[in-house]
Amino acid sequence: MKTLLFSWVLFLCCAHAQMTQPAYVERFDSTSVPLLPIGWSTTTNRLSSGDFVTTTSSPRSSPNAVLSTNATISQSLTSPPLNFAGTTPVRLEFYASRSSSHAAGLIVDVSIDNGITFPMTLTDTLRNPGTSAYVLSSIPLPVALANQRSVRFRWRLIAVPSGGATGTFRLDDVAVITIPSFDLGLTRLQALPEAGDSSFVPGQKITLGAAVKNSGTQNATEYEIHFFQDTNSDGKAELPEEFADVKGSNLLSSDSTLITATSNALIAGDNRFIAVVSWLLDTNPWNDTAFVDVIVGAEPRSIIINEIMFDPLSGQNEWVEFYHRGQDPIDIARWRFSDRPTSSGANAFVIATMSTLIQPRDFIVVAADSSLFSQFPSPATATPTVHCFILSRSNGFGLNNDGDDVILRDALGKTIDSVSYSSLWHHPDVTITKGRSLERISPEIASNDKRNWSTSPSSRGGTPGQPNGIFTTSLPSAASLSISPNPFSPDGDGFEDFCIIRYNLPLTTSLIRISIFDIRGRLLRTLANTELSGPKGEIVWDGLDDAKQRVRIGPYVVFIEAIDGQAGILATAKAVVVVATKL
């Protein structure tokens, strides 16, 4: 099965109602300068190492071209042997460039005995065209080359004594055009909507039609069309991506047929399908592959706005976090977000230009610049569930500090989610909100419900690429504490020297105080005092009191108080922890 997916630029013309294709293309790019590509040869009249060399200087197509200097010395360049069995060569094309002082004549001739003799001259003497730009030469080829197996072309520079010893001649982008005897190709691959369908939806299976054309002179039988869904977005038809293999019927010369197959389920975003025709007798791989891109709009609120840093600290910049709350993968290529439109328009930013597949429960962090990583190192660490995009916008996204809109749109321009935030959504007990993000409490509650947003309790000021500090799906009915290990022995021996106090609160955001008391009710240590917290968290006690002295062996009471001033709710819980020692 042929898997050649990317071809050279095709040179097309009609001859006897057959399609022509380049059977051989040489751009001189597959070698290291100054070496010639494998199979190419040159005279040694000027230099013992070879008269023609490859160069990176002024190619027509980067990176290389072939170069010859000194028009006062005759030189030649010969191609590798070419096999035209089953085809008829119809044209030789190449691009040549000369300096103004290069006056040597150029003659192109051809051999059919592997270069032993060159009995056929293809051109008159080609002179300097008077321009240093590359000029295309398109030379008809004699019918005598049909079905020949050892054809070599030769470019001969005929010396002129006054032709310019420093003049230069460059050759690039050589192509031989043929009419194949055996040539099955795909002229298109198309998605065929069902009757009444005006668009495609995620999860839908569609019919794909591959148009097959026999461009050869002989009939085609026993061929197959392979259908692929490019799930890894690498542009290649790979065996694990194949979902259908359909055998074709007899196809006469110049005839066409449509072969169909049913796709796998579509995903939201870009769906690239590839079809490849496979025929053992096919001599032309250039037209064996066809592509079609099916763009599917995402479901509203499948990806939501989850966290907004609109008022960063000095030296930091704005960022927005999105969260995939849906059930199916989504390709976010060409998705964008924008702020609130004004009379002069809106600030809009493309998130991803290339195919990027987002799985359910993944996070997308979009930052104006890389200063994000100095305050929040975690997004810099590549993980399968966090997709970080740095948009290199030193001036930020233009989000207003008092309030603005964040609008997320898919590749079709459909609004997927939007938030009209306000600085008043910050928790009222937090007096300094600069450098703290707004976090969403629940992905299931409406995006514009101000009760679903509050200040990030994180000590860094936000949680980009991580679950929100105030994220919750349901709250407990009462506060609770758990301690581990319990007992613990803070004696400095490296074993269970600390305990971790974990808490759960019936509040989305609150100010907490965590205290340690002895059994007589005396306050020994304050672990947290009016710190902002989400519905759960943890803190470490090292067995020391506020004076940094180790407490005595025995039981102690851990007491937590949490208050939500906005809602006027106070929650408390206590638990006993035992300080022990080794016997």
The CATH code of the domain that includes 291 is 2.60.40.10
Residue 2: inside a domain:
no
Residues 403-425: pLDDT tens digits?
999 999 999 999 999 999 999 99
Number of helices and strands in the chain (H, E): 1, 39
Percent of the chain with pLDDT over 90: 68
The domain boundary residue, chosen from 272, 296, 320:
296
Instruction: Extract the tokens encoding 402.
Output: 């008092």
Q: Evaluate whether residue 292 is within a structural domain.
A: yes
Residue ranges making up the domain that contains 62: 14-180
Give yes or no for a contact between 61 and 175, defined as CB atoms under 8 angstroms apart. Answer: no
Q: Please write down the HEC assignment for all residues of 509-578.
A: CEEEEEEEECCCCCEEEEEEEEEEECCEEEEEECCECCCCCECCCEEEEEEEEEEECCCCEEEEEEEEEE
Domain assignment present for residue 532? The answer is yes
d(CA 475, CA 468) in angstroms, rounded, equals 15
Query: In this model, does residue 506 exceed pLDDT 70?
Result: yes
Does residue 248 sit in the same domain as residue 321?
Answer: no
Write the CA distances from 430 to 173, 209, 238, 320, 565, integer angstroms. Answer: 68, 61, 55, 21, 10
* pLDDT at residue number 21: 56
Name the band, by pLDDT with cuts 50, 70 and 90, for residue 11. Answer: very low
* pLDDT above 60 (res 385): yes
Of the residues 439, 455, 471, which one is the last residue of a structural domain? Answer: 455
Instruction: Tell me whether residue 81 is in a domain.
Output: yes
Q: How far is it, in rounded angstroms, from Cα 341 to Cα 332?
A: 22
Res 567: pLDDT? 59
What mean pLDDT do residues 124-150 have? 95
Nearest of 188, 184, 181, 178 to residue 255 by alpha carbon? 184
User: Where does residue 379 rank: exposed (0-12), middle (13-18), buried (19+ CB within 10 A)?
Assistant: buried
Give the model's confidence band at 16: pLDDT under 50 very low, under 70 low, under 90 confident, else very high. very low
Report the sign of the C-alpha dihedral through residues 502, 508, 514, 518, in that order: negative
Residue written as tokens 């025995």? 554
Phi, psi of 420 (to 5 degrees): -105, 90
Q: Are residue 500 and residue 539 in the same domain, yes or no?
A: yes
Please state whether 45 falls in left (phi above 0), alpha (psi between -120 and 50) or beta.
alpha
Q: Give the pLDDT score at 22.
A: 64
Rounded distance, CA 28 to CA 38, Å?
Answer: 10
Q: How many CB atoms lie within 10 A of CB 213?
A: 20
Is 230 inside any structural domain? Answer: yes
51 and 164, same domain (yes or no):
yes
Q: What angle do CA 366, 368, 372 make, to 5 degrees?
A: 80
- CATH at 543: 2.60.40.4070
Q: Answer yes or no: are the C-beta atoms of 272 and 228 closer than 8 Å.
A: no
310 and 227 co-located in one domain: no
Whether residue 150 sits in one domain with residue 49: yes
Residue 566 predicted with pLDDT over 70? no
DSSP string, 442-500: -TTS-TT-GGGEEE---TTS--TTS--TT--S---SS-EEEEESSSB--SSSSSS--EE
- Span 57-63, average pLDDT: 96
Cα-flanking dihedrals φ and ψ of residue 240, to 5°?
A: -65, -15
Res 474: pLDDT? 66
Q: Describe the strand order of the beta sheet including 184-192 as a list of residue ranges.
A: 184-192, 207-214, 256-262
Q: How many domains does the chain have?
A: 4
Q: What is the pLDDT of residue 197?
A: 65
Name residue, tokens 């995903």.
267
Confidence of residue 198 (pLDDT cuts 50, 70, 90): low
Which range (192-201, 259-268, 408-417) has the least confidence? Answer: 192-201
Mean pLDDT is lowest, of 163-172, 249-258, 550-559, 568-577, for 568-577
**Domain shared by 326 and 209, yes or no:** no
Q: Is 464 part of a structural domain of the chain?
A: no
Are 203 and 266 spatial neighbours (Cβ–Cβ below 8 Å)?
yes
Residue 149, pLDDT score = 94
Pairwise CA distance, residues 161 & 90, whole Å = 35
Same domain for 548 and 487: yes
How high is the pLDDT of residue 493?
Answer: 74
Q: What is the tens place of the pLDDT at every residue in 70-117?
A: 999 999 999 999 999 878 898 999 999 999 999 999 999 999 999 999
Residue 568: its pLDDT value, please?
66
Separation CA 370–CA 372 (nearest Å):
5
Co-location of 448 and 367 in the same domain: yes
Residue type, 179: I
Q: 565 falls in which pLDDT band (50, 70, 90)?
A: low
| Averaged confidence pLDDT in the chain | 89
One domain for residues 112 and 127: yes
Q: What is the pLDDT of residue 199?
A: 76
Cα–Cα distance between 269 and 330 in angstroms, integer?
A: 6
Phi, psi (rounded to 5 degrees) for 144: -60, -15
Domain assignment present for residue 473? The answer is no
> Which residue did the predictor score with more confidence, 264 or 164?
264
At residue 4 the predicted structure's pLDDT band, cuts being 50, 70 and 90, is very low
Mean per-residue pLDDT, 457-483: 85
- Same domain as 370, residue 333: yes
Whether 136 has a pLDDT exceeding 90, the answer reads: yes
175 phi, psi to nearest 5 deg: -145, 140
Residue 536 pLDDT greater than 90, yes or no: no
With H, G, I as helix, E, B as strand and everything else as coil, classify residue 239.
Answer: helix
Q: How many residues does the chain have?
A: 583
User: Which pLDDT band, with edges at 50, 70 and 90, does 9 fall under?
Assistant: very low
CATH number at residue 408: 2.60.40.1260
Distance CA(18)–CA(22), nearest Å, equals: 13
Residues 167 and 280 in one domain: no
Quick check: is 466 in a domain?
no
Instruction: Supply φ then ψ for residue 528, to 5 degrees.
Output: -145, 140
CATH number of residue 119's parent domain? 2.60.120.260
The tokens describing 233, both together, are 């977005």
Q: Examine the pLDDT at 2 and tell me if it is beyond 70.
A: no
Whether residue 286 is found in the same domain as residue 143: no
- Spatial neighbors of 234 by CB under 8 A, at least 6 apart, are none
Separation of alpha carbons 37 and 503, rounded Å: 70
Q: Which of 180, 204, 231 is the last residue of a domain?
A: 180
Q: Which residues contact 404 (CB under 8 A, 6 or more apart)?
A: 310, 339, 340, 420, 421
